[in-house]
Structures are given as C-alpha cells and as structure tokens.
Chains A and B, each alone.
Chain A
Amino acid sequence: SYELTQPSSVSVSPGQTARITCSGDVLAKKYARWFQQKPGQAPVLVIYKDSERPSGIPERFSGSSSGTTVTLTISGAQVEDEADYYCYSAEVFGGGTKLTVL
C-alpha cells in the first residue's frame, strides 16, 4: 500500500502564508484531496483534484502539485484556520499536520 508523509506541525502568525506539504509516490499518478478538521468535528474537504476548491471554501485556500509532492497553501492565514489538515489519495490519508496560527 502507499504512504503519504506530512509534517507533524506548522506554525505561522496571523496574516502570514502557511504551506503544508504531502509527499508520496502515488501522488505522481493520482490526484490528492485536502481536509481540515477542527476538534470534535468531522473533516471538511478544502481542496480536491490537487488544486480545485469546493464551493464555500475561502479563496485563501489553494493547492498545487509537483511530481510526488502536493502542497496546501493558506494565504493570509487567520486564527480560525487553526486546525489539523490531512492529505488523501488512493485510499490513504497522510498522518496529518497541526496548523497553529498565533
């Protein structure tokens, strides 16, 4: 089976750009999705097909892909973006990244 690797934590100040990476061989062949999960809540899809944003997701969320790495970028991160973020592809989730905004 495949593995997707994410940093365990990322920290930024409000208004800065946060970048979360996800690496894995499968990403060269399959699209990735990104999810945001806040404590006690179900995950929310924020990016699909590497870079597409579902309706209702703020424009500051964007995604990109290069080879075996995909990146979630939050431009001008806000306090309410503080959450766990997970990448997903081919029936595998990454280990998750805790984003701290303070």
Chain B
Amino acid sequence: EVQLVESGGGLVQPGGSLRLSCAASGFTFSSYWMHWVRQAPGKGLVWVSRINSDGSSTSYADSVKGRFTISRDNAKNTLYLQMNSLRAEDTAVYYCATVTFDYWGQGTLVTVSS
C-alpha cells in the first residue's frame, strides 16, 4: 500500500525556518518525481515545488523561490521542504504528492505567526 506521511509542521515566527519531511513507503520512491502542494486555511490548492527522481532538477513557484528548497534522500525514502524566511502568507497545510498526483499525504499544518 502506498503511503506518504508528512511531518515537521508547527508554529513558527515570521522570518523563521522549518523543515518538512514526507516519508514514503509502498512504492519505489527513488523512481518517482515528487511535488509539494499547499493550501491556506479556507483557500485553494497551490503548487509549491517539484523535484525529479534523483534530485538533480527542481522547480519552484514564484512565491517561494529563493526561500524554499526541495530535496530528497532516496536511501531514506524521504522528501523534504526546507522553508526559510517564512511569512504569514506561508501559513497553510502542506501536502506531498507523487508526480502524477495519484497519491497524496494527509498534510502537515504550518502556521507563521508572532
């Protein structure tokens, strides 16, 4: 059974940093490109970032470029999102998903507030 489990969310002050993790199981993680998608409370889905299977190619939404870094550890079957210089508008549930969006995690809530 395919499982994606996000962790690392929480409350952080503006300007702070947080690293999200997405633990994958039930499929050959190292063969799959992966996405991060976020959803602010009561708002729509927003694509955040994408990484290819070996981590050599990444892509970011303009709103997070230069502040967020996507990475992966295929030996640990884990996807990451390093978030720096956080702003109130980054408050959202963050989901990881496989490249074709067949599988999603349950999401982890990030709240940026003083």
Chain A residues in contact with chain B, CB under 8 A? 1, 33, 35, 37, 42-45, 48, 54, 84, 86, 88, 91-96
Rounded to whole angstroms, the CA-CA distance of A98 and B33 in the bound complex is 30
A-B residue pair count with CB separations less than 8 angstroms: 43
Chain A positions within 8 Å of B107 at CB level: 42
Given A42-B105, A45-B102, A88-B101, A93–B95 Cβ distance below 8 Å?
Answer: no
Minimal Cβ-Cβ distance residue in B for A55: B102
Q: State how many angstroms separate the Cβ of B2 from the closest Cβ of chain A.
A: 13
Q: State how many angstroms separate the Cβ of A56 from the closest Cβ of chain B.
A: 10
Rounded to whole angstroms, the CA-CA distance of A43 and B95 in the bound complex is 9
Interface of A, secondary structure class, is: strand
Chain B positions within 8 Å of A37 at CB level: 45
Given A48-B100, A88-B101, A91-B50, A42–B45 Cβ distance below 8 Å?
Answer: no
Rounded to whole angstroms, the CA-CA distance of A48 and B61 in the bound complex is 22
Q: List 29 A-B contacts (CB under 8 A).
A: A1-B61, A1-B62, A35-B45, A37-B45, A42-B95, A42-B105, A42-B106, A43-B37, A43-B95, A43-B101, A43-B104, A44-B104, A45-B100, A48-B101, A54-B102, A84-B44, A88-B45, A88-B101, A91-B47, A91-B59, A91-B61, A92-B47, A93-B37, A93-B44, A93-B45, A93-B47, A94-B44, A96-B44, A96-B45
